[in-house]
Amino acid sequence: MAEALPLSYDLVPSQEIESRVSRLQRALEKHSLDGAMILDRINMFYYAGTMQSGALFVPAGRSPVFFIRRSLERAQMETPLKNLIQFKSFTELPGRLRDFGCSVSSVGIDEISMPVSVFKKLSGALVDTAFEDISDGLSILRSVKSDYEVDLIREAGRRHQQVYEQIPGILEEGMTEWELGAAVHACMLKLGFTGLGRLGAFNTEFIGGVISFGESGNFPSASVGPGGMVGLSPAFPFLGGPRALKRGEPVFVDTGFAYQGYFTDMTRVYSLGPPPEAAVEAHRICLDVQEAVRGRLKPGAVPSQIFEEVYETEVVSRGFEEHFMGYGSNQVAFLGHGIGLVIDEFPAIAGKVDYPLEQNMLIAVEPKKGLEGIGLVGIENTFLVTDRGGERITHGPDEIIVV
């Protein structure tokens, strides 16, 4: 049956999966772990090239074993891994793993993504296993992209730019945030956006992006970023709300575009007619902050030092701290974040993040400023870490775009 079903999409190359598994195995050996048990969809896709209901066990010194509830047939079509086992219960794992010669005395798991109920079942099956949290290690491994991944993210950036080029032709006085958000989302889907926004933080959701007019950009939000928005209701505080667009107010558009699962992150500000001079000036300073960060995105640079240096020289020195990176309670303490298979990957450009940047990390830099009575302005672009500083992946004008 599987052979009769043609695939209309590209698969992750087998050498890509082999390289990722090898890097994980070296990390497991370094930390004296017998293996890693992966249950979340993002890491499962990263190491297997497919998203199925099951458990992927990566031993430190043997070939991975992929236990699949469903769909085994789809996994056989999509993953280059060879050891694919149909299973129904975690209780089958000890015997099956012994059959493959796998030791499970010490096993790494991602505690961030694993529900307690699932961990209870897993630990109940592997009763003699000592579990160790490797969520940070998995994030670090994913943060350094291969050339294959960079190419996908470059394509996401090209398509993302095309979306933003269409926004001036969509804007109309009196249209609502929701109407603009729906139109932008439709443009994204037509250009191959994979539709689902993905965030790594616990219990977070994301659809389309942040679309806000004027002071909606300062509305209190539980978002992990600086952007405020009202949304349709308390049950759906996403994408945009009922506010109608007025001339001269900031139109804040912050979206993530995923191509074959890999994201770019991008923010632009528009205005029907000239915006207030205070908005123009604050936006200009945000561009200076972006450039100061971009120039420091080099291998070996430490994110916490970048944050402290830029915050002092570009923000504090200008008295720009109030409502910088979010209005009031929306304020966040970072200048950028890693990006890849999820929007908010490791590392953040923030205090206490002391892990040095590496070549082929991707960083979304997003300095933004809330202005009382006006709204939110600022910029966001995705950059590749290189020896020459950040190479821009998302293109188009950074200045406020007056329509």
- Residue 21 belongs to domain with CATH number: 3.40.350.10
Query: Rounded mean pLDDT of 363-389?
Result: 98
- Residues 302 and 292: their CA atoms lie apart, in Å, by 14
Same domain, 127 and 154: no
Query: Rounded mean pLDDT of 207-230?
Result: 92
| Domain residue limits at 43 | 2-142
Same domain, 22 and 8: yes
Would you place residue 2 in the very low, low, confident or very high pLDDT band (cuts 50, 70, 90)?
very low
Q: Residue 385 pLDDT > 70, yes or no? A: yes
* CATH classification of the domain holding 378: 3.90.230.10
Q: What is the pLDDT of residues 50-59, one digit of tens each?
A: 999 999 999 9
Asked if residue 8 has a cis previous peptide bond (ω within 30° of 0), the answer is no
**What's the pLDDT score for residue 393?**
98
Q: Residue 3 pLDDT > 60, yes or no? A: no
Of the candidates 103, 118, 142, which is a domain's last residue? 142
Q: Which residue has the tokens 């052979």?
A: 3
DSSP 5-36: S---SPPPPHHHHHHHHHHHHHHHHHTT-SEE
**What's the pLDDT score for residue 399?**
98
Same domain, 132 and 219: no
Total domain count, the chain: 2
Same domain, 217 and 281: yes
Comparing 4-18, 254-268, 301-315, the range with the smallest average pLDDT is: 4-18
Q: What is the pLDDT of residues 251-300, one digit of tens each?
A: 999 999 999 999 999 999 999 999 999 999 999 999 999 999 999 999 99
Of the candidates 93, 120, 142, which is a domain's last residue? 142
Same domain, 136 and 9: yes
Q: What is the pLDDT of residues 60-88, one digit of tens each?
A: 999 999 999 999 999 999 999 999 999 99
Same domain, 360 and 238: yes
Asked if residue 347 has a cis previous peptide bond (ω within 30° of 0), the answer is yes
Same domain, 260 and 360: yes
Cα angle, residue 307 at apex, residues 253 and 151 outer, rounded to 5°: 55
Same domain, 136 and 148: no
Higher pLDDT, 242 or 201: 242
253: buried, middle or exposed (CB in 10 Å: 19+, 13-18, 0-12)? buried
- The pTM for the full model equals 0.95
Of the candidates 124, 142, 160, which is a domain's last residue? 142
Q: Residue 5 pLDDT > 80, yes or no? A: no
Dihedrals φ, ψ of 154, to 5°?
-60, -45
- Residues 348 and 223: their CA atoms lie apart, in Å, by 16
DSSP 87-155: -S-GGGHHHHHHHTT---SEEEE-TTTS-HHHHHHHHHHSTTPEEEE-HHHHHHHHHB--HHHHHHHHH
Would you place residue 6 in the very low, low, confident or very high pLDDT band (cuts 50, 70, 90)?
low
- Residues 76 and 52: their CA atoms lie apart, in Å, by 11
Same domain, 133 and 272: no
DSSP state of 82: S
Same domain, 132 and 152: no
Same domain, 279 and 153: yes
**CB of 112 within 8 A of CB of 136?**
no
Same domain, 245 and 135: no
